[in-house]
Chains A and B, each alone.
Chain A
Amino acid sequence: MLAFTKKTNSAALAFLGGGAFWFAIGATYGLFSAIDLVAPDFFQNIAVFVFGRVRPTHVNTVIYGFITSMLIGCAMYMVPALLKTRLWSERLGWVSFVLWNASVLSGPIGFPMGYTQGREYAEYLWAFDVTLMLALLALIVNIVMTIAHRRENSLYVSVWYFVGTAIWISAVYPLGNVMWHPSTGAMPGLLDSIYLWFYGHNLVGLLLTPLAVGAAYFVVPRITKTPLFSHTLSLVGFWALVVLYTHIGGHHLLQAPIPNWLKTISVVDSLMMFIPVGAVLANIWLTARGKTSLLWKDPAGRLVLFGTLFYLVTCIQGPVQSLPSVQRLTHFNNWVIGHAHIAVLGFSGFVALGAMWHVLPDVCGKKIWSQRLVSLQFGLVMIGIVGFFVVLTVAGLIQGGSWYNGETVYRSLPLITPYMVMRALLGLFIIASAWVGLVNFIMTLRHGQPHISTPIEEAPS
């Protein structure tokens, strides 16, 4: 029974397909949100399209459904490949897949009907927090057992990041969702915001970032056919990430009445994020040095290359906007939405897509149906994300500037109308890229030419 769940790489393939599917759904919900901000009576009195309900659907579906699923799928292929073994249990992988997607599915089904815990990024109801945790624990068992059965002694840097992600996020998630308070998923009083933003920021820092960095560390040396530039930089990047990222959630609350020492730590460590980011990017780019044309020619490599570029943009902008003087103009407005999109879609989303197309032939044994469509996806999502970033940053500065100079929120709304229209239109490019990708994925499975997978030649330390 269910013989397909025993097939090698079938669980990885399931996660990749889930990611491609949820990208299309999550981006479409983004469009509904964008329409609400252009024409609030467009969906008048249709409860399921109200902004407050579609926005969490968009956000959670993209984070957990699209990017995390896709990168878990990549990791489930990359870890065994790097360790010259197989995934310890495909069936356990499928258990993770089913449980994980139960949580993700609870978003588009539950949130539009008002079934949510309502804390930003921590909206899933307690039951679906539980399924997500069980999925994570099953993944941890699977990865640890795979490592135990490895035939390659040294652990490549990608493996560090995937293992790190699994053990960190399985602690961050229950803490941030306050799972010991099942009915509200929250702590009482102001303390809740400290839990929430520890979690909210580490969702990027200890989930999306290490997964994406791990995947980029795999793809870039492989496409450029070059061993990794530096083991030392790998170590610096890895350990500095977990030391620093974990402290900086407080920068979301600089203007709220949390303790000052916590704000100070969060700002200082935000600035120090230049260390892990610089180490990782230097390592990846120096590996690709002189061979970026190889990355550019391969649409999957191109996605990863631009993902790393957006990582730089994100991580220059992020520390700068953690400064209290900058936040006076950027907090509470669309600047932050622009930052969130360049971080989540620009960095980890690009890397997830690139890594997915890179490993897909090895995972499913078929060549990509259309490299042109991968290129098209790249072009569409590039236009979308760059446009988004510019438009939202400008809109945010307009809002922030007018508030700082004494205008009310209400008076600033007409000022951002043209930007909200442009954002909705640019969103169409992102949605198109998602659906193009999904079609290409399905066609690859159904009509792709056979592909003989190449084993990983060496696992540089």
Chain B
Amino acid sequence: MKMTPALLVIGGLMVFWASVTVAVFLPHATLNDQPSDIWKPMSEPDVAAGHKLYVRNGCSYCHSQYVRVLDWDVGSERIAEKGDYYGYEPAILGTERTGPDLSQEGGEHPDDWQLAHFVNPRITRPVSLMPAWEFLGPTEIRQLNAYVQFLGGKDADVRVARQQRWKPPAIAAWLAGPAKNVEWLHAQVPKVWQAMPNPYPATEPDLLRGQKIYQQECINCHGPVGDGQTVAANYMQPPPLNFTILRGHLVEGKYIGGIFYYQIMNGITGTAMPYFKRDLESEKIWDVSNYLAVRFLGYTDATIEPRGIPASYEPEWKNTFVAPTTQEAK
């Protein structure tokens, strides 16, 4: 076969366009794009503006927008469908996850958490690699937030409504003063969890593990001494809890471990406190609970009654912490 200019150009173009027909035009003709059950139009101006900002600022180089069957992280309650992207231009799917997938981010966090996180992600997420976006100014951050809260369509609406449902009572409780606030927070934990001690010993290794988790997940909101007096407090309504006051608010004068566990696992929707059930598995949450209790309350309910058969690994450990009397705590 001798390559002549005619063969090269005409043959090259014929093969190329045949391939384009298969790889591009055929999908184009047959994709049959229809809105999915959760799809919503990008009709609000702030959402549309936020979408443009998301595209312009290259958010998609670190955040994908489709959840896969094998995912465990944010949004993995729903696998992406083609109709989720109907009419969005561009529907920016992304190729990298230096940050989490955002296709179901709407309503994961309330607006105040998102605002602080855009100003500087380290305010809420200490080891995040995301840039600080404070330079965009309040208007553009508001628009980005509107877009992020939109992500997930009608599923996001459910979550956003839940955040909005619980924000006013959380603020009201905080405004009622520390004692009333803690009382309200405790009351939101199911009864069976309230009178539950931490089942695991607060050994030194256990506390060190708890400390490491605290530094990676909690420290920038609740602070190095657990008093909640942090930069994050400037952004959040209600502000992060001061753990030290809990010493005077133990359930039945002795329990706090179960409440810690439940609130870390589940978060407190409506407040900036996120759930950590995806980030931390059971043992880590118990370790953090012991760390909070020992470091910031000077007391832990670890291994007190009621308890079942100790786990096989448990060393000989005696809880020598004495529950504070109500008088002493105050």
Residues of A within 8 A of B122 (CB): 40-41
Q: Contact flags (1/0) for B50-69 with A, using CB distance below 8 Å?
A: 00001111111110101011
A192 with B90: in contact, given A41-B132, A56-B61, A246-B16 (CB under 8 Å)?
Answer: yes
Enumerate A231-253 residues with CB–CB distance to B below 8 Å: 235, 239, 242-243, 246-247, 249-250, 252-253
The yes or no answer to B8 lying at the interface (CB within 8 A) is yes
Interface residues in A, total, Cβ within 8 A: 86
Residue from A118, A399, A410 in contact with B128 in the complex, judged by beta carbons closer than 8 Å: A410
Residues of A within 8 A of B132 (CB): 40-41, 44-45
Residue from A185, A190, A408, A414 in contact with B73 in the complex, judged by beta carbons closer than 8 Å: A408
Which residue among B23, B60, B66 has the maximum number of chain A CB atoms within 10 Å of its CB? Answer: B23
A53 with B58: in contact, given A40-B121, A45-B132 (CB under 8 Å)?
Answer: yes
The yes or no answer to B45 lying at the interface (CB within 8 A) is no
Which residue among A44, A56, A148, A154 has the maximum number of chain B CB atoms within 10 Å of its CB? Answer: A44
Q: Tell me whether A118 and B95 are in contact (CB under 8 A).
A: no
The yes or no answer to A7 lying at the interface (CB within 8 A) is no
The yes or no answer to A180 lying at the interface (CB within 8 A) is no
Q: Contact flags (1/0) for B164-178 with A, using CB distance below 8 Å?
A: 000000000000000
Task: Considering the complex, give the chain A residue whose CB is closest to the CB of B32.
Answer: A259
Residues of B within 8 A of A47 (CB): 135-136
Which residue among B27, B66, B122, B128 has the maximum number of chain A CB atoms within 10 Å of its CB? Answer: B27
A333 to chain B, nearest CB (A): 7
The yes or no answer to A133 lying at the interface (CB within 8 A) is no
Roughly how many angstroms separate A120 CA and B12 CA in the complex, as a whole number?
Answer: 27
Residues of A within 8 A of B17 (CB): 171
A50 with B57: in contact, given A188-B88, A257-B82 (CB under 8 Å)?
Answer: yes
The yes or no answer to A267 lying at the interface (CB within 8 A) is no
Q: Contact flags (1/0) for A12-47 with B, using CB distance below 8 Å?
A: 000000000000000000000000110011011111
Residue from B12, B64, B91, B121 in contact with A167 in the complex, judged by beta carbons closer than 8 Å: B12
Q: Tell me whether A257 and B4 are in contact (CB under 8 A).
A: no
B292 to chain A, nearest CB (A): 19
Q: Tell me whether A37 and B98 are in contact (CB under 8 A).
A: yes
Task: Considering the complex, give the chain A residue whose CB is closest to the CB of B133.
Answer: A50
Q: Tell me whether B95 and A164 are in contact (CB under 8 A).
A: no
A242 with B15: in contact, given A164-B8, A255-B68, A332-B97 (CB under 8 Å)?
Answer: yes
Roughly how many angstroms separate A255 CA and B80 CA in the complex, as a whole number?
Answer: 9
Q: Tell me whether B131 and A52 are in contact (CB under 8 A).
A: yes
A40 with B130: in contact, given A154-B2, A167-B9 (CB under 8 Å)?
Answer: yes
Enumerate B96-124 residues with CB–CB distance to A below 8 Å: 96-101, 120-122
The yes or no answer to B251 lying at the interface (CB within 8 A) is no
Residues of B within 8 A of A55 (CB): 58, 61
Task: Considering the complex, give the chain B residue whose CB is closest to the CB of A199.
Answer: B24
Which residue among A160, A185, A188 has the maximum number of chain B CB atoms within 10 Å of its CB? Answer: A188
Q: Tell me whether B100 and A190 are in contact (CB under 8 A).
A: no
Q: Tell me whether B23 and A249 are in contact (CB under 8 A).
A: yes
The yes or no answer to B322 lying at the interface (CB within 8 A) is no
Roughly how many angstroms separate A235 CA and B1 CA in the complex, as a whole number?
Answer: 8
Q: Contact flags (1/0) for B67-101 with A, using CB distance below 8 Å?
A: 01111111000001110111111111101111111
A207 to chain B, nearest CB (A): 13
Q: Tell me whether B89 and A184 are in contact (CB under 8 A).
A: yes
Residues of B within 8 A of A194 (CB): 23-24, 27-28, 31
Roughly how many angstroms separate A175 CA and B90 CA in the complex, as a whole number?
Answer: 15
Residues of A within 8 A of B135 (CB): 45-47
Roughly how many angstroms separate A251 CA and B20 CA in the complex, as a whole number?
Answer: 15
Residue from B12, B61, B81, B91 in contact with A51 in the complex, judged by beta carbons closer than 8 Å: B61
Enumerate A151-171 residues with CB–CB distance to B below 8 Å: 154-155, 157, 160, 163-164, 167-168, 171
B301 to chain A, nearest CB (A): 27
Chain A facing B: main interface SS: helix
Q: Tell me whether A259 and B131 are in contact (CB under 8 A).
A: no
The yes or no answer to B134 lying at the interface (CB within 8 A) is yes
Residues of B within 8 A of A115 (CB): 56
Q: Tell me whether A247 and B23 are in contact (CB under 8 A).
A: yes
Q: Tell me whether B23 and A336 are in contact (CB under 8 A).
A: no
B328 to chain A, nearest CB (A): 39
A190 with B85: in contact, given A120-B60, A175-B24 (CB under 8 Å)?
Answer: yes
Residue from A52, A186, A262 in contact with B23 in the complex, judged by beta carbons closer than 8 Å: A262
A186 to chain B, nearest CB (A): 3
Residues of A within 8 A of B23 (CB): 194, 198, 246-247, 249-250, 262, 265-266
A413 with B128: in contact, given A190-B91, A191-B27, A249-B23 (CB under 8 Å)?
Answer: yes
Q: Tell me whether A257 and B128 are in contact (CB under 8 A).
A: no
How many chain B residues sit at the interface, stated as a range, is: 35 or more
Residue from A191, A235, A246, A247 in contact with B33 in the complex, judged by beta carbons closer than 8 Å: A191
Task: Considering the complex, give the chain B residue whose CB is closest to the CB of A171.
Answer: B16
A33 to chain B, nearest CB (A): 9
Q: Tell me whether A40 and B82 are in contact (CB under 8 A).
A: no
Task: Considering the complex, give the chain A residue whose CB is closest to the CB of B59.
Answer: A52
Enumerate A381-419 residues with CB–CB distance to B below 8 Å: 399, 403-404, 406-411, 413-414
The yes or no answer to B216 lying at the interface (CB within 8 A) is yes
The yes or no answer to B19 lying at the interface (CB within 8 A) is yes
Q: Tell me whether B99 and A409 are in contact (CB under 8 A).
A: yes
Enumerate B1-44 residues with CB–CB distance to A below 8 Å: 1-5, 8-9, 11-13, 15-17, 19-20, 22-24, 27-28, 30-31, 33
Residues of B within 8 A of A242 (CB): 12, 15-16, 19
Roughly how many angstroms separate A266 CA and B33 CA in the complex, as a whole number?
Answer: 21
Q: Tell me whether A189 and B129 are in contact (CB under 8 A).
A: no
Q: Tell me whether B90 and A186 are in contact (CB under 8 A).
A: yes
A167 with B13: in contact, given A191-B27, A242-B19, A409-B97 (CB under 8 Å)?
Answer: yes
Q: Tell me whether A52 and B58 are in contact (CB under 8 A).
A: yes
Q: Tell me whether B97 and A333 are in contact (CB under 8 A).
A: yes
Residues of B within 8 A of A337 (CB): 96
Task: Considering the complex, give the chain B residue whose CB is closest to the CB of A266.
Answer: B23
Enumerate B303-328 residues with CB–CB distance to A below 8 Å: none
Roughly how many angstroms separate A164 CA and B80 CA in the complex, as a whole number?
Answer: 38
Enumerate A190-224 residues with CB–CB distance to B below 8 Å: 190-196, 198, 206
Residues of A within 8 A of B279 (CB): 408, 410-411
The yes or no answer to A450 lying at the interface (CB within 8 A) is no
A333 with B96: in contact, given A40-B121, A116-B56 (CB under 8 Å)?
Answer: yes
Roughly how many angstroms separate A187 CA and B27 CA in the complex, as a whole number?
Answer: 13
A404 with B70: in contact, given A118-B92, A120-B61, A189-B87 (CB under 8 Å)?
Answer: yes
Pick 21 A–B contacts, CB within 8 A, sort by A: A40-B132, A44-B132, A50-B131, A51-B58, A56-B61, A117-B90, A118-B54, A120-B60, A148-B5, A189-B87, A192-B89, A193-B91, A198-B23, A235-B1, A253-B93, A258-B27, A266-B23, A403-B73, A409-B99, A410-B127, A413-B129
Known pairs A247-B22, A266-B23. 7 more at Cβ < 8 A? A51-B58, A52-B59, A53-B57, A167-B9, A189-B31, A191-B33, A407-B72
8 closest pairs, A vs B, by CB?
A52-B58, A186-B90, A246-B19, A118-B55, A332-B97, A255-B68, A257-B82, A188-B89
